[in-house]
Amino acid sequence: MVINHSSLLLLFFFSTLFIIPINSQLLSPIIHCSDTSGDRNTYIIHVETANATKFLAREARERYYRSFLQPLSSSGEQLMLYSYMHAINGFAARLTEAEVKTMMKMKGFVHAQKDHEYNLHTTHSPDFLGLQQDHCFWKESNYGKGVIIGVLDTGVMPNHQSFTGEDMPLPPAKWKGICDFDIPVCNNKLVGARGFLRGCRNSPVDDNGHGMHTASIAAGNFVANASVLGQAKGNASGIAPKAHLAVYKVCYKHCHGSDILAAIDQAISDGVDVLSISIGGRPDPFYDDHMAIGALAAVEKGLFVSSSAGNMGPKESSVENNAPWMLTVGASTMDRSIRVTIKLGNGEEINGESAYQPDNFPFTMLPLIFPGEKGVVRAKTCSDGSLDGINVRGKIVLCETGGGVNNSIEKGMVVKNAGGIAMILMNQGKQMLTVKARAHVLPAAQISYGDSLRIKKYMKASPVATAGILFKGTVYGTPVSPSIASFSGRGPSVINNGVMKPDIVGPGLNILAAWPSSADCSAMPTFNMLSGTSMAAPHLAGVAALLKASHPDWSPAMIKSAIMTTADELRQDGKLISDETGNSTNYFAMGAGHVNPSKANDPGLVYDINIDDYISYLCGLGYSDRQVSAVARRYIECLSRKAITAEELNYPTFTVSVASESQKTVTRTVKNVGENNAVYTVQVDAPEGVKVDVYPEKIEFSEINETVVYDVYFTSGDSSERIGSVSEGQLRWVSGKHVVKSAITVSFV
């Protein structure tokens, strides 16, 4: 049966529709739809709590916030955009620099920061993660039933089959959000949707695709026969297919910090359990990082926050979303390939990938041409207009990735418009083995950097270079998976002063998920294949939802610990996880390892962290009282509490710096979430250059939720020749049933 979009909308309307009445107390903290022109900029203003402000209703809190603006607006001009209830103690307003300076002198003022922009970090994956219907963890966690995942992104298309309410239970009674579409299209799957744009009420409809893609990865419902152009065909679903979705559109043309804070504020009010945020920006100190501040407020309220590590890898220290209270997720590959084989005129064969696999493209040897062989950059990357005057008609055209002007799909359009019959997209050095399968507009194959060099070498040696292309479809079981995608953000963090980031990696390359329109213009359910840490973060949000459903009493830090201490470090072929070069990777690329949801459900021991520990850590970063107070959303005097370093935070990993001939002691506390009368013994793979001792070497628990403290002693000899280098190791607590792993990274200073 072919169903057009309007029919789908009616099906939603008449299916298991769940409508929430609009209540003025539940509306977002939008105050005024502001004109963004003129000499005013948006500022995020942090203020002290006055009297018992945190216990007041929104209206009273807003009046208090307005008292800071009244002296600045004699004309009665509306300055305030948002009045925040949970995300921060403060508000967003349109102000001049002079007005901000005036406000800084007012009693109760804490901190001001100009609003800045954040960027988007842009099927088979449940199977790849060991999640199958009616099997083990997925069944035990009831597929995430009763958990609400909030997605901050570009919105959603509610009429997509991934968001149908079929076979979905009612949302829990705590849900207080609304569905802000012009017509009632929400249901028991998509329970709410809101749009936030510079203080304006705006449509949550996704006109980009990124938002519905990430939402369906986290919690899309089951859809049969999902595919992209007939490839990767199968039953698609999110990681937590019975969890509810609340979508908060914060990215229109840009993603602004004030809008992100407003969405987090709303999500906390609405009753969301897990936040998925595939957005990031330049690493800023936490007191100037609006998303990190809002995330801490969410974690304090019990929400788990999964965020993307950014797509600036493999550059060192490119990781984003560095706050220790957020789960920072890097991107890995899966064992699926949408294969294209290129046969060169000399008989060599090269495997590449493409989601577009035409049935009617004959295997014929055709002439090869590389327009950029003379070094012209624009021609190398097949930029717009770069093929003018070059005869590519009827030929297979070689194009390099990158160039910063057009993406791989647009390169194909340039080739097609110039008369090229097919395209070979060649990775550049930094991408190495990371190959994307895209829905190209002509027969195409993307190949690795090493294979690109092979083709170029063949062309130089052959006066008349030819090649044929054979489309082989979807292939499963690639043994070198998972590996780290080249673009995945890498540590160490330049902001958090010693907390290992990223925390974990999950599927983020060639991920099939919901999309606004069909790649082949058909009326079938629409899906697309995208790559990025944007795709990895919602995988982990879905895993967190499953764990939340299975263990409702676990804190966000406990869920995070369970994910990290049970992560896999080996590929499917039994070798260590590799990076884009094919060599074994390190913790700065993979974090604790690759997520294993079933193991995370039964971790044995967990490392918990409370909010006061995070605040003591902020004091340990050397922030001023005002700066810490801005992040903590209450007055903090660091001298009155014990500041701790990042090394002392009860994190599930160890990142320490050691000087030559020195000793350092780090303390950790573990909680038993396994069995009564459990006994664990320690095993240590010491990083090269240090001696690692643990006391006690055996820990015992008589009951569940009991805690034990242990110390780790790092002792270095003469490490003068190691200064500036890093060594890695691992600490494991082992019982008869569990292996609780903690990565160790030692920097020599």
Catalytic residue among 28, 237, 534, 735: 534
Burial of 3 (0-12, 13-18, 19+ CB in 10 A): middle
d(CA 579, CA 484): 5
Element (H, E) at 584: none
d(CA 20, CA 229): 37
**Beta strands 41-47 and 109-114, pairing class:** antiparallel
CB 309 within 8 A of CB 331: yes
Catalytic residue status for 213: no
Catalytic residue status for 534: yes
d(CA 709, CA 648): 13
Place of tokens 């020749």: 721
DSSP string, 308-369: E--S-TTSTT------TTSEEEEEE--SEEEEEEEEETTS-EEEEE-S---TT-----EEEE
Rounded to the nearest 10 degrees, the angle between the axes of helix 625-632 and helix 290-300 is: 60
Catalytic residue among 160, 210, 551, 738: 210
Query: Residue 129 — left, alpha, or beta (φ > 0 → left; ψ -120 to 50 → alpha)?
Result: alpha
Token pair, residue 44, equals: 């995020």
Rounded to the nearest 10 degrees, the angle between the axes of helix 611-620 and helix 625-632 is: 150
Sheet holding 663-672, edge to edge: 605-606, 663-672, 707-716, 690-695
Which own/partner contact pairs does 164-168 have at CB distance under 8 Å and 24+ positions apart? Answer: 164/11, 164/12, 164/15, 164/189, 164/221, 165/12, 165/15, 165/16, 165/17, 165/18, 165/189, 165/190, 166/15, 166/16, 166/221, 167/221, 168/16, 168/221, 168/242, 168/244
3-class DSSP string for 415-445: HHHCCCCEEEEECCCCCCCCCCCCCCCCCEE
CB 204 within 8 A of CB 178: no
Catalytic residue status for 210: yes
Catalytic residue among 34, 46, 125, 153: 153
Burial of 392 (0-12, 13-18, 19+ CB in 10 A): buried
Token pair, residue 500, equals: 């290992």
d(CA 434, CA 428): 10
d(CA 406, CA 402): 8
Element (H, E) at 489: none
DSSP string, 649-661: S--SSEEEEE-TT
d(CA 5, CA 406): 30
Please work out, in degrees rounded to the nearest 5, the angle formed at the alpha carbon of residue 311 by the alpha carbons of 526 and 215: 35
d(CA 611, CA 709): 19
3-class DSSP string for 673-713: CCCCCEEEEEEEECCCCEEEEEECCEEEECCCCCEEEEEEE
Which residues are part of the catalytic machinery? 153, 210, 534
